[in-house]
A and B are shown apart, each in its own frame.
Chain A
Amino acid sequence: MSLNNLDQLYRAVIMEHYKKPRNKGYLDENNVTVDMNNPTCGDRIHLTLKINDGIVEDAKFDGEGCSISMSSASMMTEIIKGKKVEEALKLADIFSKMMLGEEIDEEILDELGDIAALQGVSKFPARIKCATLAWKAMEKGVSKEIE
């Protein structure tokens, strides 16, 4: 029964984030805002980041999309909070490598926490863009701030 393969994609932790997204909402307008969508499928994200002295102090998102895109946004905002901008960008880089199916060190996977559960997405090529949407938005927001 191939529904079992689905369990590789829809890991419990992913569905938990989908069901109860962290950091859902908005920060006020003085913060960095990014709107991004996936034109091929209609997923969209509105991300606000509070960045002070090179540190992501707060992050919130709102949007519409499938379980993968929304849970990924929830996990992403959770992990980057309190991180230095460079660290956040490094995580984005690791995440995109993970989506390409590259081997990730156990140590780094531990550091990623819940996010490691999204590894299975790399086996579903049509869904990779769902998972990377929030990360792309974050990268864009952070680079706005650096400029």
Chain B
Amino acid sequence: MNEFRKDFPILNQEVNGHPLVYLDSAATSQKPVQVLEVVRKYYDFDNSNVHRGVHTLGNRATDSYEGAREKIRKFINAKSTKEIIYTRGTTTSLNTVASAYGRQNVQEGDEIVITYMEHHSNLIPWQQLAKEKNAVLKYIDLEEDGTISLDTVKETITPKTKIVAMTMASNVLGTINPIKEVAKIAHENGAVMVVDGAQAAPHMPIDVQDLDCDFLAFSGHKMCGPTGIGVLYGKQELLENIEPIEFGGEMIDFVDLYDSTWKELPWKFEGGTPNIAGAIGLGAAIDYLTNIGLDKIANHEHELIEYALSEMDKIEGLHIYGPRDPKKRCGLITFNLDGVHPHDLATVLDMRGIAIRAGHHCAQPLMKWLKVSATARASFYIYNNKEDVDALVEGLRAAKEYFNNVFE
């Protein structure tokens, strides 16, 4: 057992006649009652639009919505809540950086540097920006073990580089990247550092001032919060100089017939009625995670994957991708089992109540780099325990046996 499982009522069910073993938190995490109750309470008592009503409910909603922004600021140690913009999720955050900052600052012949391990959401926005601007998109090559070498980073980033975009933790390899060091190299070359924090924010402490990154994107739903809410952090001096890309209610100062002015940060980037319940829910998720402690969460996951790696290694024909050192990894393991296609594997495991992910994980260029068309992925979070790992390993053995028999 594990002390946090009781907070997640969804885990207390049977799937296909077996207790649910949820190993797909890298896709989306489960939500604790502490978050569900806060969202419920908002709709039961405070539901109202923000920043406009003079009435009491409007004030309460606004206070909770802006209170959550302060929680997020503290969570990543930003200097000011002006630097915290609510979005729909990581994808929207990264697209906003590309469409707003990127379009306004990248010129023909400039370079944009990313890596082979990026999720499509931190790849396609840059690819399309490069196409539009006739800029050069460059990829930082990976080492054999799926890590990044700072020497390669130094070779790839040049004074022509305007943007370096990199994930803090890979959703496939599990690799944790040296963001602070890369940001330093980016800055020495006059580029800004954009960080995809989708797989990092739920699992490890993040300090944007220490990392000195210029933009950071992450999603609420992977960190015990609701879907449809995410964050874009940007340094204030950069955000001040970027024009908004969405226009409408909430984001304006004065509107004239032929021109308008914008609200101050962060609201100039938040056109339209926002996802108020989502933001408040994310605030509650941050409370939940910080009460436990991000270091404790990271340690728990390291223990689990260390155990999982050693148990999975005992299965003949099982290949694990990414760095072998558990300390260089976040809490997920991507693998393939000889003779069993990942989809078939996921179906066999599902029949045993075990949820894993199978496919290309929104990282097709990385799949090419790994020379596979698909992989299976098990990902862990605070509510997982060793019994979950044992169930997975037993399921993998059963799948192997099942398919081997079929082939005999």
A interface residues, Cβ below 8 angstroms from B: 2-3, 5-6, 9-10, 12, 15, 19, 40-44, 64-69, 124, 126-127, 130
Contacts and interface: CB of A to CB of B under 8 A. Distances in A.
Contacts of A40: 359
Nearest to A15: B406
B341 A66 contact: yes
B407 interface: yes
B146 interface: no
Contacts of A41: 343, 358-360, 374
A40 to B, nearest CB: 7
Contacts, number: 61
A18 to B, nearest CB: 8
Interface in B317-369: 341-344, 346-348, 351-352, 358-360, 364, 367
Contacts of B346: 126
A67 B406 CA distance: 11
A67 B344 contact: yes
A56 B173 CA distance: 45
A5 B352 CA distance: 10
B398 interface: yes
Given A6-B402, A12-B406, A15-B407, 20 more contacts: A2-B16, A2-B351, A3-B352, A3-B398, A3-B402, A6-B347, A6-B348, A9-B347, A10-B344, A15-B406, A40-B359, A41-B374, A42-B359, A42-B367, A43-B374, A64-B373, A64-B374, A65-B343, A67-B341, A68-B344
B402 to A, nearest CB: 6
B30 to A, nearest CB: 20
A11 B343 CA distance: 16
A6 B364 contact: no
B258 to A, nearest CB: 44
Contacts of A5: 16, 351
B160 interface: no
B18 A127 contact: no
B342 A66 contact: yes
B359 A66 contact: no
A44 B16 CA distance: 29
Given A2-B352, A41-B358, A66 B343 contact: yes
A65 B351 contact: no
A97 B364 CA distance: 32
A68 B352 CA distance: 19
Contacts of B352: 2-3
Contacts of B351: 2-3, 5-6
Contacts of B343: 41, 43, 65-66, 68-69, 127, 130
Nearest to A44: B373
Contacts of A69: 343
Interface string B17-28: 110000000000
Contacts of B359: 40-42
A67 B17 CA distance: 24
Top 10 A-B residue pairs of the complex, sorted by shortest distance between their CB atoms: A66-B343, A66-B341, A42-B360, A41-B359, A64-B373, A15-B406, A42-B374, A2-B351, A42-B373, A66-B344
A124 B347 contact: yes
Interface in B365-405: 367, 373-374, 398, 402
Contacts of B16: 2, 5
Contacts of A126: 346-347
A68 B340 CA distance: 12
Contacts of B342: 66
Contact of A10 (B17, B360, B373, B406): B406
A40 B351 CA distance: 21
Nearest to A70: B341
Residue among B17, B343, B398 facing the most chain A CB atoms (10 A cut-off): B343
